[in-house]
């Protein structure tokens, strides 16, 4: 199956960003089965859960069980979202390989999301990075610094791109291992993505930058294309487009993992992911969820006639 095609890494965030938006709590066994199937399908990275204080989000009360399970799976990096240093400490104790900590581009959104000022959040990120650096090399976790509402916020509206780029610079100075730019409420468009990345990528240097797009207003895949054109090779996506944001009314879903795998493989990129298995997983998870919770296209339409993954004619882009 090796073709020399360029690799794009998709981080499956359905178990965290997807389930977070659903009122129904998914059984821990179903979450474990989802992780196993995702690893078998070839996903290199899964955002497993959120290490919020116990009781705060019942959906993630089983965080330790899911994390423990993912550690048994080969060739997959499990990441967890943490809201603060305490979450990072818990992640470290549980042996999580990668943790994501979010600062919002919008002060109001940061307050709504974690009830803290951005200044406090930045301080917390410094303490998390210090925790990382205090650990023996073999036990060191990676830190993803995420910027939420990077393309706008449902409270403040437009967000100034220059301010986002300054915030990115701060996160990079603190020493994050990956910078994640998130269009939490689906306000981004390809022109904004281009303006943002033109300013942001030179700052990032060798630090990988990932994008987290929501398809709330139908621009998700066009935003991916704009980011690909800028050389981005890491994307978050959620199986079936599950997700949204509890603090952003009408923000109805991440870009769908299966549609992203299809887009990338059709364009000649190598996701390392078996698209047939993703479609199968999609249908299995849909059966565990309320009707119409999933909004992706591919599982409904199926693959094109005569499709053979990565045997599509080049050149890519």
Kindly report the number of other CB atoms within 10 A of residue 75's CB atom: 10
Q: Is 138 in the site for its own copies (CB under 8 A)?
A: no
Long-range contact pairs involving 285-292 (C-beta distance under 8 Å, separation at least 24) = 285/14, 285/30, 285/34, 285/239, 285/240, 286/240, 288/26, 288/27, 288/30, 289/22, 289/24, 289/26, 289/242, 290/22, 290/24
**Beta carbon of residue 274, minimum distance to its own copies (angstroms, whole number):** 17
Query: Is 245 designated active site?
Result: yes
Q: Does 307 bind its own copies (CB under 8 A)?
A: yes
Enumerate the β-bridge partners of residue 98.
79, 142
CB of 164 to its own copies, least distance (A): 13
**Per CB under 8 A, 221 contacts its own copies:** yes
Site for its own copies in 235-264 (CB under 8 A): 250-252, 256, 259-260, 262-263
Q: Does 218 bind its own copies (CB under 8 A)?
A: yes
Say whether residue 296 binds its own copies (CB under 8 A): yes
305 binds its own copies (CB under 8 A): yes
Element (H, E) at 266: helix 257-266
Shorter beta-carbon distance to its own copies: residue 60 or 187: 187
Residue 165 touches its own copies, criterion: CB under 8 A: no
Supply the Cα-derived Rg of the chain in whole angstroms: 18
Neighbour tally for 217: CB within 10 Å: 15
Residue range at the interface with its own copies (CB under 8 A); choices 59-67, 87-95, 119-127, 183-191: 183-191
Please state, as a whole number, how many other Cβ atoms lie within 10 Å of the Cβ of residue 269.
19
Pick from 266, 280, 284, 288 the residue near its own copies by CB under 8 A.
266
Residue (175 or 190) nearer to its own copies, CB: 190
Task: Give the active site residues.
Answer: 245
């Amino acid at each position: 199956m090796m073709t020399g095609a360029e690799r794009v890494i998709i981080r499956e965030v359905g178990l965290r960003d997807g389930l977070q938006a659903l009122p129904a709590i998914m059984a821990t066994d179903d979450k474990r089965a989802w992780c196993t199937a995702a690893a078998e399908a070839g996903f290199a990275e899964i955002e497993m859960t959120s290490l919020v204080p116990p009781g705060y989000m019942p959906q993630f009360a089983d965080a330790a069980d899911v994390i423990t399970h993912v550690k048994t799976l080969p060739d997959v990096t499990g990441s967890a979202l943490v809201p603060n240093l305490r979450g990072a400490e818990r992640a470290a104790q549980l042996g999580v390989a990668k943790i994501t900590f979010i600062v919002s581009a919008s002060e109001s959104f940061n307050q709504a999301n974690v009830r803290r000022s951005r200044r406090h959040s930045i301080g917390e990120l410094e303490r998390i990075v210090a925790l990382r650096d205090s650990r023996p090399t073999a036990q060191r976790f990676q830190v993803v610094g995420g910027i939420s509402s990077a393309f706008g916020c449902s409270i403040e509206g437009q967000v100034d791109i220059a301010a986002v780029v300054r915030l990115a610079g701060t996160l990079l100075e603190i020493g994050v291992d990956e910078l994640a730019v998130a269009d939490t409420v689906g306000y981004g468009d390809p022109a904004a993505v281009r303006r943002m990345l033109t300013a942001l990528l030179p700052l990032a240097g060798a630090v990988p930058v990932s994008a987290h797009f929501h398809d709330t207003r139908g621009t998700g895949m066009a935003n991916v294309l704009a980011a690909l054109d800028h050389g981005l090779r890491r994307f978050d996506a959620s199986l079936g487009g599950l997700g949204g944001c509890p603090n952003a009314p009408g923000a109805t879903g991440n870009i769908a993992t299966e549609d992203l795998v299809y887009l990338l493989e059709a364009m000649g990129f190598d996701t390392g992911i078996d698209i047939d298995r993703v479609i199968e997983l999609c249908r299995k998870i849909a059966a565990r969820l309320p009707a119409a919770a999933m909004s992706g296209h591919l599982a409904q339409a199926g693959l094109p006639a005569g499709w053979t993954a990565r045997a599509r004619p080049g050149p890519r882009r």
